[in-house]
Structure formats: structure tokens, C-alpha cells
Structure 1
Amino acid sequence: MGLLEPDRYFSRLSHIDLERDLRARGLDCVLLDIDNTILARDTHEVPRDARLWLARAREAGVGVCLVSNNWHASVHQLAGELDLPIVAKALKPLPHGLLLGMRKLGGDRASTVMVGDQLLTDVLAAHLAGMRAYMLQPLVEQDLPHTLLLRNLERMMLGSRQPEPAPPACRQNLDAHPQEGLR
């Protein structure tokens, strides 16, 4: 697999099935990007389905560490709100921040996956660190100017590749527990 090719491609975090897509593949440590992966750039909110997924990951014994190139106080506040460890100013695509996050979770390369919305930071950093990379579509189209330029390049690199369809169980679980994961 190429350095810039995600191992899996999903439309949302909640479409990653904890058992089938993580545990069954030996993955119990998740490094999770923040901006436009779990925090919408337009509203600066974590969507309900992402909060629910994080709560279920915790219940399932899947460790999660936030890994962001951002260094502002807001990412540390979010980590505190979600009660998650964080590596800020990670300098992705350099692998150092991911390796630090992996160590915070007590994982190794084989048991860790990076989940993020960008090929040129998240996916590349994961593969340079020797771990798997799951890519998500960005939560919203709004982004930083330089990121919008990179998105055009990413679209060309992804070609016709589309995110995997959401498993029916994901949709059913969210419909059955609409208040779960809310703060």
C-alpha cells in the first residue's frame, strides 16, 4: 500500500465498527485527529454520533488519544471535556506525534490506527510511523485556506474512491439511542 493511500476510507467516525473494523483486526488503540474529523470547523462542535462512538469505544476497551497539529488552548479544553489524552502540535506528517500518542495508550504499531480527514497529514504520518491509517471525509467543507488547496490535490489522488457504506448496525444504534453520547 502506498504512503498516501488510506487502509480504509469512511464517511464518518461513527461508521467505523468497533468490533469488526478495529478489534477483529487487532486494533485497540486509536489516534484521532480533531479538526474536521471530530470537531466541525463551522460550528466548533463534536457531533452527537462522534460522542456516542467515543463513549462506546471507552466501554469496549479501545483506547483513544487525540493527535492534532493544533496547539491552541481549545484543543486542550476539548481533550479535557472528552476526558482523552492529547498530543498537540504533533507536526504531522512527521511521525513523532503519533508515536508519542501510541505510547500514551500503551500500544504498539500493530495495534494502533490513525483516524483523520487528510491524506497529506494523517494518512502519511500513520504510514511513516508504520501503522494503519483510516481516513474520514471531512465533517464540513469549511476549512483553513491552505487546507482547502490540499483538499483539491487529495481529491485527485483519491480518484474515484468513495467511502465505505455505513453498516446498517451503525444507523440502527444511533436511532435506538438518540440521547446517548450527548453532553
Structure 2
Amino acid sequence: MQHLTPKEYVHSVYHIDLDKLWEDGKRLLLSDLDNTLVGWNHPHVPEELAVWLLQAKQRGFEICLISNNRGDRVQEFAEQSGLAAIAAARKPRPDAFLRAMNQFGRRPEETVMIGDQLFTDIRGGNAVGIHTVLVLPIDRREWWGTRVVRRLEWFAMRSLVKRGLVIPDQSERR
């Protein structure tokens, strides 16, 4: 279960302690898109997210989207948000994670992966040795394939909770 265990589990990207990550030597934030930064297939960058991205960049972080979604969807969002992006990433395969780190000249110990799924985002990030942050999904609407995987994820999450993983209180969600 170690490969599915996130280093942190928070409500949303807005609950990530960017100062602590910076102090720990992290410089590159890799992030999933759908249900991590915005709702599934949401086409626009919400104001709150734009502010968070700006704060992260001003802090010195480089940011890259890594999404399994199709290229046009991811590229459009990347252009709107001013972020680099890797689409059709095939997470949890390591290729996209390694490509992003290479593109930015960063090592695993300088990199963070933020995502809402254990089997893609967290497993993939852990496989290449980067710091992983699991967030609660933004929306219940998802691609049908993700809904199937969520059922399996539920069993894995139960096991992780038994091993001490603390689930964020959903009532405090932003």
C-alpha cells in the first residue's frame, strides 16, 4: 500500500502549505487538472485558482499540468492559466513525470505531484520518488472510467485509513 500512500492529504490546493514545501526544497509543482484544480472538463480558470497560481509562481514555484485528458482540453486550460502542460500523460506511467522534471531541470526531491486520484496521481508520483499531495475531488461529475476506478479506490482508501491516513473533514471544504 506504500505506493498508494500520499505524503499529504488535504481538502484542496488552497490548503497546501506552499511555504513549508518551499522550505523543504520543493521547486516544481506538478498538478492534475480535472477535479484537482477545476471540476471535470470545466473550461475556465476560476478567479480563486488564478490567485493561487499567481501566489505559487511569485513564491518561486514552477508549475506544470500533467493530465490524462485529451490534448486540446489540457492545452486550452494551460494557455488560459499560463502553465506548461503534458496531456494524454498515461499516469501512473512514469514518462510524463520524468518528462516534466527534465523539462524544468528538477530532481524528484524538488518536485511535488498534486492530484485527486490514488491510482494515477499518487501512485505515479510515488513511483518516481516525488512528494505527493492528495486532494479531495472538486466535483462528483467525472469521466465514466474514473467513476469505475473510484470504486476500487474506495477499498484502497479504507485500508490506508486503517493504517493511519487521516481524511480531511469535508465540511471544511472551500
TM-score range, shorter chain: 0.7 to 0.9
Name the residue aligned to 1:176: none
Shift in Å, 1:42: 6.6
Shift in Å, 1:156: 2.3
Taking every aligned residue pair, what percent have the same amino acid on both sides? Answer: 33
Name the residue aligned to 1:32: 31
Shift in Å, 1:144: 1.1
User: What is the one-letter code of the residue matched to 1:122?
Assistant: D
User: What is the one-letter code of the residue matched to 2:45?
Assistant: V
CA contact (8 A) 2:45 2:80 kept: no
Query: Which consecutive unaligned segments of at least 5 residues does structure 1 have?
Result: 172-183
SS at match of 1:3: helix
Name the residue aligned to 2:133: 134
User: What is the one-letter code of the residue matched to 1:158?
Assistant: M
Name the residue aligned to 1:14: 14
Q: What RMSD in Å do the two structures reach over aligned CA positions?
A: 2.2
Name the residue aligned to 1:163: 168
Counterparts of 1:53-132 in structure 2, within 5 Å, are 53-132=52-131
Q: Deviations over 1:104-129 (max 9, x none)?
A: 22211000011011000000110111
CA contact (8 A) 1:3 1:123 kept: yes
Identify the range of structure 1 (43-52 vs 53-62) with the bigger mean alpha-carbon deviation: 43-52
Query: Which consecutive unaligned segments of at least 5 residues does structure 2 have?
Result: none
Shift in Å, 1:43: 4.3
CA contact (8 A) 2:9 2:168 kept: yes
Shift in Å, 1:39: 2.1
CA contact (8 A) 2:7 2:132 kept: yes
Shift in Å, 1:44: 3.7
Separation in 2, partners of 1:131, 1:43: 27
Identify the range of structure 1 (69-78 vs 79-88) with the bigger mean alpha-carbon deviation: 69-78
CA contact (8 A) 1:40 1:46 kept: no
